[in-house]
Copies of this chain bind each other. A is one copy, B any other.
Amino acid sequence: MKLAVMGVGAVGRAVVELAEDYGHEVVGLADSTGAALGEPLDVAAVLAEKDETGVVGRTSHEELLDADYDVLVEATPTTLGDAEPGFSNAVAALDRDRHVVLANKGPVAERYADLRAAVRESAGELRFEATVGGAIPAVRTIEDLGPERVDRVQGVLNGTANFVLSRMAAEGLGYEHVLAEAQELGVAEADPSFDVDGTDAALKGVIVANVLRDARGEDDISLADAEVAGIEDLPTSALSLAADDGRTVRLIVEATPDGVRVGPRLVPENGTLAVTGTQNIVQVATGHAGRLNISGRGAGGPETASAVLADVGRLPPR
């Protein structure tokens, strides 16, 4: 497949670096500064140019969207509300009958119905495995089981929050101390708000809920419909009290066809949900297949890129 990639963060960069290994060709790459085109694109040269000058290319985004590619990989930063520019990029590619693979959570979490409407009018298909749980095949597993037969999905879907909770419990340290440590290690961003206040986990829950609701003919929901609490105010004493009872605290997302709830919850200390460090876990509950648990790396450039490229591999030839 010929890939056009929008976004040159950790994920977009890993996608263009790994694409050839997966048998694909990168023909376009863009960030907010502009786009570079080529058949194939000299990815190493473009990335070196970007590192040196900060500029990917001088070609316009419109020219990239009109170019000869099979799949648009949308990996610009997730934004809330109108989910721009990710939403318009995805729709522009669908309007041109191209496939779209999203790493950007915004369009599927905030404007799912609008996006599905664009898919219905397009010969292209839409996939978004990378938006939920990095390398973990959450969306695909739900699709395979049949979303109409999945009753509930829950799990740990934010590695930064999980790292903080794991460290607080293991070392008896306070939230601010552990967060600063996580920032030093590069596990937490300079502004970790969306990770620790539950927003990032909630967006993933909303995406899953939208898949479950779509299969049942229900309207889509968005972040505003989710019930969200974070871990910022969790005292270390809550973790030691939990430990006295053989439990610990995890930031748990619960998505059902009825909606999404995110918040710190007590879970058994050595139980399935108590993954440690930056690991993520997804539990998918169904009637016939019981409960499936999938854990792995929920973030990271190559990990998330592997989900993007698995999505690309599932698309029909254009």
> Which residues of A line the B interface, CB within 8 A?
14, 18, 21-22, 135-137, 140-141, 144-146, 149, 270, 272, 286, 288-297, 300, 302-303, 305-307, 310, 313-314
A292 CB, min distance to chain B CBs, angstroms: 4
Residues in B whose Cβ lies below 8 Å from that of A141: 137
Residues in B whose Cβ lies below 8 Å from that of A292: 135-137, 294-296
Q: Is the CB–CB distance between B288 and A302 below 8 Å?
A: yes
Residues in B whose Cβ lies below 8 Å from that of A302: 288-289
Residues in B whose Cβ lies below 8 Å from that of A294: 292-294
Q: Is the CB–CB distance between B306 and A289 below 8 Å?
A: yes
Which of A140, A291, A294 has the largest count of B CB atoms less than 10 A from its CB?
A: A294
Checking B286, B291, B306 against A288 with a beta-carbon cut-off of 8 angstroms, the contacting residue is: B306
Residues in B whose Cβ lies below 8 Å from that of A145: 306, 310
Q: Is the CB–CB distance between A296 and B291 below 8 Å?
A: yes
Residues in B whose Cβ lies below 8 Å from that of A293: 293-296
A277 CB, min distance to chain B CBs, angstroms: 12
**Given A22-B146, A313-B144, residue A297 in contact with residue B306 (CB < 8 A):** no
CA–CA, A145 and B297, complex, Å = 14
Q: Is the CB–CB distance between B295 and A135 below 8 Å?
A: no
Which residue of chain B has the shortest Cβ distance to A305 in the bound complex? B288
CA–CA, A292 and B279, complex, Å = 10
Which residue of chain B has the shortest Cβ distance to A293 in the bound complex? B295
Residues in B whose Cβ lies below 8 Å from that of A272: 295
Q: Is the CB–CB distance between A290 and B295 below 8 Å?
A: no
CA–CA, A178 and B290, complex, Å = 25
Q: Is the CB–CB distance between B290 and A135 below 8 Å?
A: yes
CA–CA, A146 and B297, complex, Å = 17
Checking B18, B297, B310, B314 against A290 with a beta-carbon cut-off of 8 angstroms, the contacting residue is: B297
Q: Is the CB–CB distance between B137 and A310 below 8 Å?
A: no
Residues in B whose Cβ lies below 8 Å from that of A303: 288-290
Which of A289, A306, A310 has the largest count of B CB atoms less than 10 A from its CB?
A: A289
Residues in B whose Cβ lies below 8 Å from that of A22: 146
Residues in B whose Cβ lies below 8 Å from that of A136: 292
Sample of 14 further A-B pairs with CB below 8 A, known A135-B292, A291-B297, A293-B293:
A135-B290, A137-B137, A140-B140, A144-B310, A145-B306, A146-B313, A272-B295, A286-B306, A288-B302, A288-B305, A288-B306, A289-B296, A289-B303, A293-B296
Residues in B whose Cβ lies below 8 Å from that of A296: 289-293
Which residue of chain B has the shortest Cβ distance to A274 in the bound complex? B270
CA–CA, A14 and B149, complex, Å = 16
CA–CA, A21 and B314, complex, Å = 25
Q: Is the CB–CB distance between B297 and A289 below 8 Å?
A: yes
Checking B288, B295, B297, B314 against A18 with a beta-carbon cut-off of 8 angstroms, the contacting residue is: B288
A and B contact pairs by CB, cutoff 8 A, 12 listed = A14-B288, A135-B290, A135-B292, A136-B292, A137-B141, A137-B292, A144-B313, A146-B310, A288-B306, A290-B300, A292-B295, A293-B296
Which residue of chain B has the shortest Cβ distance to A300 in the bound complex? B290
